[in-house]
Amino acid sequence: MDGNRRFAKKQKQGVVTGYRAGFTALMSIIKYCSELGVKYVTIYAFSIDNFRREPEEVKIIMDLMLEKTEGILKEESVVHQYGVRVYFLGNLKLLCEPLRVAAEKVMKATASNTKLLLFICVAYTSLDEIIHAVHESCNDKLKNIILPDKPHTDEIEVVVEEEEEKDGIKLVDIEKHMYMALGPEPDVLIRTSGESRLSNFLLWQTSHCTLYSPDALWPEIGLWNLVWAVLNFQRNHSYLEKKKKQS
């Protein structure tokens, strides 16, 4: 029993250490991106699927995220030094109230920053983003359907059908309701740890995106990884632009 407790304690310490190192890596990436002239940075901080982990582990991560989120509000933080505007994107109602409130404060406090936009995807999956966008698009269309006062049943059906045919849901309707609608489609997606799967991240937005999968774990990502990703993008840029025009 004591051995199990020691193992659990060590595992929790590993989670905390990993997330702290990941946050430090993010601050470094922000500095590098700012110096390289990158305008938009998106980080996958916590998936909806991660809520399936042990409740105690989820609480540890949420508490740590709250600590780091509140730290962003300090004047000496990297976010303020480099003029970073922060957005938290995802199904934010799934977050605990203190973290949700802290996220809202950060978004408000950084609203005037314009040098770099940082999108933090938390309580996010790409499937949830798509479902959300479709749901909101349907709601918009339903609000615009105007029925005549007390018409015959057949007339109701005709009016609705004509309205749906004229104003059916289009691609632009869905895209404007995406969580990621605040920024352009990504040019480069870095998938760390040598993984080739996207793990339910930005599936909608990455059809014409350069993928880079270094062997380094996320906390180990450094300047050379970022430079290599940019160089690889530049090498393939003309080809990707040609494919975009053909689609």
Per the annotation, the verdict on 2 as an active-site residue is: yes
Question: Among 2, 63, 173, 187, which one carries the catalytic annotation?
Answer: 2
139: left (phi over 0), alpha (psi -120 to 50) or beta: alpha
Q: Which two tokens stand for residue 170?
A: 């289009």
Catalytic residues: 2
